[in-house]
Amino acid sequence: GENVEQHPSTLSVQEGDSAVIKCTYSDSASNYFPWYKQELGKRPQLIIDIRSNVGEKKDQRIAVTLNKTAKHFSLHITETQPEDSAVYFCAVPLGGFKTIFGAGTRLFVKA
Amino acid sequence: DVKVTQSSRYLVKRTGEKVFLECVQDMDHENMFWYRQDPGLGLRLIYFSYDVKMKEKGDIPEGYSVSREKKERFSLILESASTNQTSMYLCASSKGQGRETQYFGPGTRLLVL
């Protein structure tokens, strides 16, 4: 079946450093790749997404890169701040309305 | 702004009880989903619905059923709650034909004793 692997499961960085989270998927037909952020006790919310016709997308301190050939996409957070501490999920929507989520990465930003 | 609400934030039930979790969205989205979230396992799809009265099994439907009588409302039913159904339950909705952003509710933390 379709699979999404997300790494690392936990990431601890110093405030101001960069953080990178990677997801690898298996469905060749996937063409939309969102990232969700879930702060403690809150709902997951979309923070950035990318469609397969581009290789990179940026929104201020966050960016997503996509390598369709290798079937992986990554979330990059630069100049991390304590409020970036959260669980981040990648997702791969499949055909037929289903979406597979990665297992999540818990990011700690130390002040 | 999309708003997805869930009927309860916290629930405590006893083994064998019938449990109803309700989700309402106000953006006229066609698709609605129920997930459970457990540490280290991410979000696992229980059931989804792409239209009123339509439902499809997700990856872990055993022990659950759903109901979608109105477009804005999607209910998850635990026919006979068991302790292994203790979890966080998240509802979500999306528009269109799939491969779109999902908007999540605040979650219901269910404890089955």
Beta-sheet strands, E only, within chain B: 4-6, 10-13, 19-25, 31-38, 42-49, 56-57, 64-70, 73-78, 87-94, 103-104, 108-112
Range from A31-35, A62-66, B95-99 carrying the lowest mean pLDDT? B95-99
Calculate the alpha carbon distances from A57 to A51, A61, B5, B20, B72 in Å: 9, 11, 30, 41, 33
The owner of tokens 């957070």 is A77
pLDDT at B18 over 90: yes
pLDDT at A53 over 90: no
Give A52 or A8, the one with higher predicted confidence: A8
Residues 52-91 of B with CB under 8 A from A: 56, 58, 90
Average pLDDT over residues B16-44: 94
- Whole-number average pLDDT of chain B: 93
Name which of A34, A44, A96 is nearest B98 (Cβ-Cβ): A96
Q: Which of A5, A91, A30, A72 is nearest to B103 (CA)?
A: A91
Query: Is A42 within 8 Å of B50 when comparing Cβ atoms?
Result: no
pLDDT at A60 over 80: yes
pLDDT of residue A98: 82
pLDDT of residue B2: 63
Residue A16 gets which letter from DSSP?
A: T
Amino acid at A35: W
Residues 30-89 of A with CB under 8 A from B: 30-32, 34, 36, 42-46, 49, 89
CA distance A48 to B83: 36
